[in-house]
Chains A and B, each alone.
Chain A
Amino acid sequence: MKLDNDYYVCTGCALLCDDIGVELEGGKLNKVHTACRKGFAFMKGCSNPMECTVNGERTDMDSSIKEAASILKNAERPLIFGHANSSSGAQKKAIDIARKTNGFIDDTSSFCQGPMVEAIMEGKLKTCTLDDVRHKADVIIYWGADPANSHPRHMSRYSYFPRGKERQRGWEEDRTAITIDVRKSDTAEICGQNGFYQIPVKGDAEFMDAMVSALSGKIPKTSYDLDKKKLLELASILKKAKFGVIFAGLGMVYALDDREPLYKLMDKLNSVSSFHLIPMAGHYNMRGFNQNLFEETGYINRVKFSSGEVLHGPEYSVVEVLRQKAVDAALVIGADPLSSLPRSVVRYLEKIPLIVIDPCQTLTSAKANVTIPCGLVGVETGGSAVRMDGVEIEVKQIVDTDRLSDEEIMTRISEAL
């Protein structure tokens, strides 16, 4: 999808809002229009930018790239991790590097929306784009998701409030929003008392089975206390839906031990009406990495290259390889595992040679042997990224910088290998 005017793209989250207006002053961002508070904070850049360092000492770009390449060259089983906050170009180069070094490659989807994206890429779940949602959707379900906090403009830009081609009368008349969650989130507040279904933690699979029963006209049964009448009402709303969409949040992903109940529910929903599923990806290009790796290897994450062969399995996930201490060096780009993963898992990262590529200082970069700063994608550098629904969006550069883009850095490391 190309931009048709002077608008820019916000890379604050996987919504990739492409209607951002900016005012520049002295080559810097002065005012940002239309971006939410989260996006504005992201675009403003970091308060503590990263510098080129090798073993804690400041150095120049060339020597840090050389050092990074030599770490990767000397490693037998390096881990290339992160990618969720980097451009598609850099991700493709990262896959190249992993192939060259016989390394492990994984991204944050491994402990995030991986299962949902995988099911969609394999064609097991019906999906649609966010533009379809805006133009057509009449029943919208936020399941284990709280877009009011995680993706502030989700409801206003695509899902609930905007007018679309087939939904011209707006949210009050044309759309029904439903939240299924373990707590009354801010999104649930907007959906109102009638649109909120509270379930216990890990109660999702049972709720899905109960919904299948209700949709088949049977009395739904659950081991926990649930208002059966309200559930039957929900079933009748879903049956009448012309274009339904389920936004699967991390709440749903973490609660399901396997995806069978979800497949059953989606099959049932699609036999009585038309329902689609979109994973609520968090970081702006997580889905992009999944698609890029899928094109290259046929898997979306958790891959190990072994002299031309591609190995895949849960044992190659970032959490497992760090827990098993199966890697001997790591390159982290566009992620901060030290703050997003448990300490017991990531402690091992401090013991091996660690390279970090990021615009800002992070907890991980504080422990790194080599740090290489890159430009902030969407502000200082351009590129392309994939939105949560799988649509590729061109990202434009807004301000000039002397920093290299993440793609250029990855290319130079790849060349130095």
Chain B
Amino acid sequence: MASVMEIYQLLPKTNCKECGKSTCMAFAVDLLSRKVKVGDCPPLVNEDKYKANYEKLSGMFAKVGNVTETGLIVHADKCIGCGNCVVACPVNVAADPMGAGSGKAPTCDRVIFKVEDGVVKAVNVQECRRFGENKILCVACIDTCPTKAIEFV
């Protein structure tokens, strides 16, 4: 994912406040955390001179195939279904300490990862720690994957 500075550079940088934010930088930060959409910046949409930047930004936030809302991709061709991510994911551990957190089959529906037909499937991604109001850059599933089958974009 792009950094907040990269997004800021593509905005009008006029601090016109038309979007309701106090600065373009504030808008960029909210854009990165998906609180606002690219189209929420009126000058960017309406003025021709920003057209190229608008398209670029829209491209950056467009959904890529197979990517979940949090930007999580599981490369099914690389995954060996070892379940390291299932057991290591802090959300899984909190939701299902005696099942997924203890290395066994998940026993509750609130887990993010589970293994099906030998490959990891991401479900309930909205529960992921990289998503929502208090998001953090959690890497538990990426660090523990032996085949680098999990990626965030």
Q: Which residues of A are interface residues toward B (Cβ below 8 A)? A: 7, 19-21, 31-41, 134, 148-149, 152-153, 155-158, 161-164, 170-171, 186-187, 189-190
Do A157 and B118 have beta carbons less than 8 Å apart? no
Q: Does B16 contact A (CB under 8 A)?
A: no
Residues 70 to 89 of chain B near chain A (Cβ within 8 Å): 79-84, 86-88
> Which of A7, A41, A152, A190 is B144 in contact with, Cβ under 8 Å?
A190
Does B93 have its Cβ within 8 Å of any Cβ on chain A? yes
Note all chain A residues with C-beta closer than 8 A to B82: 36, 148, 152-153, 155-156
Q: Are B105 and A20 in contact (CB under 8 A)?
A: yes
Instruction: From the candidates A31, A38, A162, A189, name the one contacting B103 in the complex (CB within 8 A).
Output: A162
Distance of A156 Cα from B79 Cα, bound (Å): 14
Q: How many of chain B's residues have a CB under 8 angstroms from any CB in A?
A: 27
Minimum distance in angstroms from B116 CB to a CB of chain A: 6
B146–A161 touching, CB < 8 Å:
no
Report how far A40 CA is from B103 CA in the complex, Å. Answer: 18
29 residue pairs bridging A and B, Cβ less than 8 Å apart: A21-B105, A31-B117, A32-B116, A33-B105, A33-B114, A33-B116, A34-B83, A34-B106, A34-B115, A35-B115, A36-B83, A37-B80, A38-B80, A39-B81, A40-B81, A41-B118, A148-B80, A148-B146, A153-B81, A156-B87, A156-B88, A157-B83, A162-B104, A163-B102, A171-B144, A186-B146, A186-B147, A187-B146, A190-B144
A37 touches B119 (CB 8 A): yes
Least Cβ–Cβ distance between B90 and chain A, in angstroms: 9
Q: Known: A34-B83, A34-B115, A36-B118. Contact between A161 and B103, CB under 8 A?
A: yes
B100-113 interface bits toward A, Cβ cutoff 8 Å, 1 = contact, 0 = none: 01111110000000
* Residue in B80, B88, B114 whose CB lies within 8 Å of A36: B80
Nearest A-chain residue to B82, judged by Cβ: A152
For A171, the chain B residues whose CB sits under 8 A away are 88, 144
B43 at the A interface (CB under 8 A): no
The residue of chain B having its C-beta at the shortest distance from the C-beta of A164 within the complex is: B102
Neighbour of A37 across the interface among B81, B84, B102, B104, CB < 8 A: B81
Q: Which residues B132-153 have CB closer than 8 A to chain A?
A: 143-144, 146-147
Smallest beta-carbon distance A173→chain B, Å = 12
CB distance from A144 to the nearest CB of B (A): 17
Distance (Å) between the CB of B2 and the closest chain A CB? 28
Nearest chain B CB to A142 CB, angstrom units: 12
Of A31, A156, A187, A189, which one neighbours B83 at CB under 8 angstroms? Answer: A156
Which A residues lie within 8 Å of B118 (CB)?
A: 32, 35-41
